[in-house]
Chain A
Amino acid sequence: DAKTTQPNSMESNEEEPVHLPCNHSTISGTDYIHWYRQLPSQGPEYVIHGLTSNVNNRMASLAIAEDRKSSTLILHRATLRDAAVYYCILRDGVNRDDKIIFGKGTRLHILP
């Protein structure tokens, strides 16, 4: 079973910020929080990952709660191209052979 909990779907208006929540109450000390997204008819693509501190990259920001039991993926200015399924995943940062367990993710709808 997936170790994270996400809302099934969310809606946002184009050009507005989007906050995608994820709960991971059973996270261990060596688990990294990864986000992937899957655009229609494509394979998943990596978005961002973090361990304890908030992270920023060209695609998004990741805000991690102080107790690490939840996190939020932030798209600063959503475009129609950001409509996708977003997956929040925990990955063991020590064992390279840790398999990815995908949940159902959050389907993000962007309204023009």
Chain B
Amino acid sequence: DAGVTQSPTHLIKTRGQQVTLRCSPKSGHDTVSWYQQALGQGPQFIFQYYEEEERQRGNFPDRFSGHQFPNYSSELNVNALLLGDSALYLCASSLDLPYEQYFGPGTRLTVT
């Protein structure tokens, strides 16, 4: 089992650009959550997808959007990048209550 995979590993973008990050959940998992982790901080919840719909959302602006595909994989899109969007973006998948979440290694996004 490959576990949760994310791509790309690292990414450098310019302020104002748009970025798409990808996540493949652990085999059999149907729920995907995205987190943003700034340096030295704990992960902050962005949103969660289940059955191809956004089910929960954290305190993030509409510039952050996502999608879940029928095979449960997911994308995170960020528009109009700001310098403050530089962070590690983590994807986590889960299945059953009380559902431990399995995290991927993350995508390191740098906005210059």
Contacts and interface: CB of A to CB of B under 8 A. Distances in A.
Interface in B44-67: 44-45, 48, 50, 55-56, 58
B42 A102 contact: yes
B3 to A, nearest CB: 10
Interface residues of A, number: 26
A43 B42 CA distance: 11
Interface residues of B, number: 26
Task: Identify the interface centre among A43, A49, A104: most chain B CB within 10 Å of its CB.
Answer: A43
B31 interface: yes
A43 B97 contact: no
Given A42-B105, A43-B104, A93 B42 contact: no
17 contacts: A2-B42, A32-B98, A34-B100, A42-B105, A43-B4, A44-B103, A46-B102, A94-B97, A96-B97, A96-B99, A97-B56, A98-B56, A99-B45, A100-B92, A102-B43, A102-B45, A103-B42
Interface of B: 4, 31, 33, 35, 41-45, 48, 50, 55-56, 58, 90, 92, 97-106
